[in-house]
Chains A and B, each alone.
Chain A
Amino acid sequence: MAEFLMYFTNGLVIGVINAISAIGVSLIVGIMRVINFAHGELYIFAGYFSYHLSLTFGLSPILAMPLSVFFIFLIGILMERLLIRPTYGDEMYSLIITFVLSIVLQNSALLIFGPYPNKPPALISGSTQIFGLFHYGNQRLLSFGISIGILLFVFYLIKKTWFGKSVRAISQDREMASLMGIDHWRINMISFGLGAALAGSAGVIIAPIFPVTPTGSSAISLTAFVVVVLGGMGSLKGCVVGGLILGILENLGAAYVSTMYRHIFAFIILILVLVFRPWGLFGQKT
């Protein structure tokens, strides 16, 4: 029982991180109809940044983490401005460009950071006993807390602020939004940056738990994509629910079925969703 609960808790922790990462993808799809295939690479880069800022440049991890996310945000803005914006409305070229970019970034990561896994220092050590059943690492608990904080922040941003209202307006009806005087170029750019920053956040949160490697990025993108399809394209709530479902299933599956096939569960879920409910749990059926 305790063992099961521990795997379940692992699933929850990974689940909220999945959710953050997936929202990064979903935001960009919802607003620009662009899938960012370089998502996983941004995530990995954030992990490496955080590692090098704290270990090579001696910054405190508390500073290194947000700073890394900020760098990724800037990279996202640059990507949108230089590469995505000209393809606007041409879905095919945006797919090609972000895919090629993912390969370029992956190979750059290999060159710059080397092929070995890197693990930035933990913010906190030790463990806590949960309900008197099992010991759980404090770093994981903290990651869980930070992730929840980020999720709340994103929901606040989308539901309550001017930026969020514009984003929702554009996602629903682009023409209407531009008639209402929303500058969609700026919103696109910020959203892309934000999507990247969310990938980065997930990366810096997970890196102290599971070290990052340049070759791990495709699996990370894939997880995020499956969550987005499962939850329903463009739905934030879907990302959270989908992220948790996938996190828990993958962890239980890895524990009780086979570790090798962690990602296969994700793919099976993807196929099942496409067969039975292609618009996802919270998506709009059109």
Chain B
Amino acid sequence: MMKTWISLPLIFLLIFLPFFLSQYWLHVMIISLFYVMMASSWNLIAGYTGQISFAHAAFAGVGAYVSGMLAVNIGIPPWLGIFVGTFVASLLGVGLGYLCIRMGGIYLSLTTLGFSEILRIIITNEDRWTRGTMGLQIPGFFTEYSKMSYYFLFLIVSAVFLFILYRLIHSEMGLSFRAVLNDELAAASSGIDTIRVRILAFTISSAMAGMAGGLYGHYLMLITPDIPSLGQMFLVLAMAVIGGMGSFIGPILGAFVLEVLSEYIRIYGEYHVLLFGLVALGVARFAPEGMVGVIKKRWKVKESP
């Protein structure tokens, strides 16, 4: 009940807001929605199964480059290309997941970090295909460029992502995710195939990153090795951590707040990464449930004086 009272006006806002925004802020909103998709899907593995993947941005890069190169080289339309990109990302997800997850969380983190670096190196060096750091120009979704159309495209896909994630978290699968996060041995002794559960979560999340990356690429229409970089990965992680990992709202909140903030900070130079890093350290150390956790605590204190 409470939830509908909050979300209804929010939906109205999201639908009508763009008509009052400048092109610049429309752009910021689109980028924020991209980060909503990224941070929320990363939260599925990190927040709900406790595995830290450092390849989330890399999978977005896979989505963007696969779809982009298909469009440039053999003229496959972007709306089809992003599905191919998503598929490739999910295949890589299954592969990496299968290799590392049985060895434990540390191995997944190490290997995904390696994968990120390698992908960046390959994209940078194979410039015949990717045009390296110069960036590859790729077509957009719409024949007539309009930020408004992109805004609604991103809004709809984000909504679909969030809907899927919400259903997943509240399904039997979601319960298994949380059981694995809480106590792997106890989950296994209760009949849960913990390895399968972890690989599944990793694959779903990687596929979502691939899709988000594809959309992002065709919006920017110029893709560079920055998309699959660790710097990008850090931003996604910081959004989830600062917003609140393991909660549904946390990463959404984190994505909007950090993206909008970084626009303001950018005026003074490229300090936002350092600043977000310090804030994320503080949050991880002192308020591991993030902004959502802090708000919840405040709320409770007020409720029961």
A residues whose Cβ falls under 8 Å from a Cβ of B: 29, 33, 35, 37, 82-83, 86-87, 91-93, 95-97, 99-101, 103-104, 107-108, 111, 218-219, 221-222, 225-226, 229, 233, 260-261, 263-264, 266-267, 270-271, 274-275, 278-279
B100 to chain A: closest residue by CB: A274
**Are the CB atoms of B281 and A99 closer together than 8 Å?**
no
Within the assembled complex, what's the spacing in Å between the Cα atoms of A21 and B108? 21
Cross-interface CB contact of A96 among B100, B115, B241, cutoff 8 Å: B241
User: Which residues of B sit under 8 angstroms from A233, Cβ to Cβ?
Assistant: 106
Give the contacts of B266-300 with A (CB-CB under 8 A): 273-274, 277-278, 280-281, 284-285, 288
User: Which residues of A sit under 8 angstroms from B125, Cβ to Cβ?
Assistant: 260-261
User: Which residues of B sit under 8 angstroms from A218, Cβ to Cβ?
Assistant: 113, 117, 230
Within the assembled complex, what's the spacing in Å between the Cα atoms of A229 and B104? 12
User: Which residues of A sit under 8 angstroms from B237, Cβ to Cβ?
Assistant: 96, 99-100
Within the assembled complex, what's the spacing in Å between the Cα atoms of A37 and B54? 11
| A96 and B284 in contact, given A35-B106, A267-B115, A278-B103 (Cβ under 8 angstroms) | yes
For the complex of A and B, list the 5 residue pairs with the smallest distance between their C-beta atoms, beginning with the closest: A104-B277, A107-B274, A274-B99, A95-B52, A260-B125
**Are the CB atoms of A264 and B118 closer together than 8 Å?**
yes
Cross-interface CB contact of A95 among B105, B121, B285, cutoff 8 Å: B105
Instruction: Pick the most buried of A29, A83, A218: most chain B CB atoms within 10 A of its CB.
Output: A218
A263 to chain B: closest residue by CB: B121
User: Which residues of B sit under 8 angstroms from A104, Cβ to Cβ?
Assistant: 274, 277-278, 281
Cross-interface CB contact of A264 among B99, B122, B241, B277, cutoff 8 Å: B122
B 235-248 to A, binary, CB cutoff 8 A, 1 in contact else 0: 00110010000000
Within the assembled complex, what's the spacing in Å between the Cα atoms of A33 and B105? 10
User: Which residues of A sit under 8 angstroms from B122, Cβ to Cβ?
Assistant: 264
**Are the CB atoms of B114 and A86 closer together than 8 Å?**
no
Within the assembled complex, what's the spacing in Å between the Cα atoms of A274 and B100? 7
User: Which residues of A sit under 8 angstroms from B105, Cβ to Cβ?
Assistant: 91-92, 95
A274 to chain B: closest residue by CB: B99
Q: Please give the distance in Å from B285's CB to the nearest CB on chain A.
A: 6
Within the assembled complex, what's the spacing in Å between the Cα atoms of A226 and B230? 18
User: Which residues of A sit under 8 angstroms from B107, Cβ to Cβ?
Assistant: 229, 274, 278
**Are the CB atoms of A99 and B54 closer together than 8 Å?**
yes
Q: Please give the distance in Å from B44's CB to the nearest CB on chain A.
A: 14
Cross-interface CB contact of A225 among B46, B114, B238, B274, cutoff 8 Å: B114
Residue B14 CB within 8 A of the other chain: no
B269 to chain A: closest residue by CB: A111
User: Which residues of A sit under 8 angstroms from B274, Cβ to Cβ?
Assistant: 104, 107-108, 111
Residue B231 CB within 8 A of the other chain: yes
Chosen A-B contacts, 24 in total, with CB atoms closer than 8 Å, are A37-B109, A91-B105, A92-B51, A93-B288, A95-B52, A96-B46, A99-B52, A99-B54, A99-B237, A100-B277, A100-B281, A100-B284, A101-B281, A103-B277, A104-B277, A107-B274, A108-B274, A225-B113, A226-B114, A263-B121, A267-B118, A271-B99, A274-B99, A278-B102
Q: Please give the distance in Å from B3's CB to the nearest CB on chain A.
A: 28
Interface of B is mostly: helix
Interface of A is mostly: helix
User: Which residues of A sit under 8 angstroms from B231, Cβ to Cβ?
Assistant: 103
Interface size class of B (residues with CB under 8 A): 35 or more
Within the assembled complex, what's the spacing in Å between the Cα atoms of A64 and B283? 36
B124 to chain A: closest residue by CB: A260
Q: Please give the distance in Å from B39's CB to the nearest CB on chain A.
A: 13
Residue B79 CB within 8 A of the other chain: no
B 105-145 to A, binary, CB cutoff 8 A, 1 in contact else 0: 11101110111011001100100000000000000000000
**Are the CB atoms of B118 and A100 closer together than 8 Å?**
no
Residue B83 CB within 8 A of the other chain: no
| A91 and B106 in contact, given A103-B230, A263-B121 (Cβ under 8 angstroms) | yes
With A29-B106, A99-B109, A266-B114 already in contact, 9 other A-B pairs whose C-beta atoms are closer than 8 Å: A87-B285, A91-B105, A100-B241, A218-B230, A229-B110, A263-B118, A267-B114, A267-B115, A270-B114
User: Which residues of B sit under 8 angstroms from A37, Cβ to Cβ?
Assistant: 109, 113
Residue B50 CB within 8 A of the other chain: yes
**Are the CB atoms of A274 and B103 closer together than 8 Å?**
yes
**Are the CB atoms of B106 and A95 closer together than 8 Å?**
yes
**Are the CB atoms of A92 and B46 closer together than 8 Å?**
yes
**Are the CB atoms of B238 and A107 closer together than 8 Å?**
no
User: Which residues of B sit under 8 angstroms from A274, Cβ to Cβ?
Assistant: 99-100, 103, 107, 111
User: Which residues of A sit under 8 angstroms from B99, Cβ to Cβ?
Assistant: 271, 274-275, 278
User: Which residues of A sit under 8 angstroms from B278, Cβ to Cβ?
Assistant: 104
B272 to chain A: closest residue by CB: A107
Within the assembled complex, what's the spacing in Å between the Cα atoms of A161 and B49? 40
**Are the CB atoms of A99 and B234 closer together than 8 Å?**
yes
